[in-house]
Amino acid sequence: MTLDLSKSTDPEINSAATVLRELDAVASRTGVEFLVVGATARNMLAHSITGATPERATHDVDIAVGVADWDEVWRLGSMFGARGRHSHRIAIGGIPVDIIPCGAIERADRTVTRPGDFTMNTLGFREAFGSAEWSCSLTN
């Protein structure tokens, strides 16, 4: 199924489209797979069905990436100018993007811990990657 967002005039959808186009270009070159998650995914779906975008508390874009280790996360972040241990948070076109690693990097309890920092629960992300059937047609 394809979400057709190509004619959207909603600023939030257009901002997300800017991020996703840039990210897709890098992902295509590097072989990194990503999945839009969080409020952006919800809003893209809602907008494609109803034409309206729900309100939200934050305006970042959350993406899940299938990676084996933190080096892959940091390498992806560095392609967008991020450096060091905060390379999981990048900006594309001035829009904050959070990279949520999942896949082979996950521990048996389905969590991921950034070295020396916090732990994230990634339960369901692996399954989402395995069953994702939707793509998006984005704005020009």
pLDDT in tens, 12-43: 888 888 888 899 888 888 888 889 998 888 88
Q: What pLDDT does 61 receive?
A: 92
Cβ count near 19 (within 10 Å): 23
Supply the Cα-derived Rg of the chain in whole angstroms. 15
User: Does the structure show a pLDDT above 70 at 140?
Assistant: no
pTM above 0.75, yes or no: yes
Query: What one-letter code names the amino acid at 69?
Result: D
β-strands 111-113, 89-92 pairing? unpaired
User: Helices 11-30 & 70-78, crossing angle to 10 degrees?
Assistant: 120
17 φ/ψ angles, rounded to the nearest 5 degrees: -60, -40
Locus of tokens 């394809």: 2
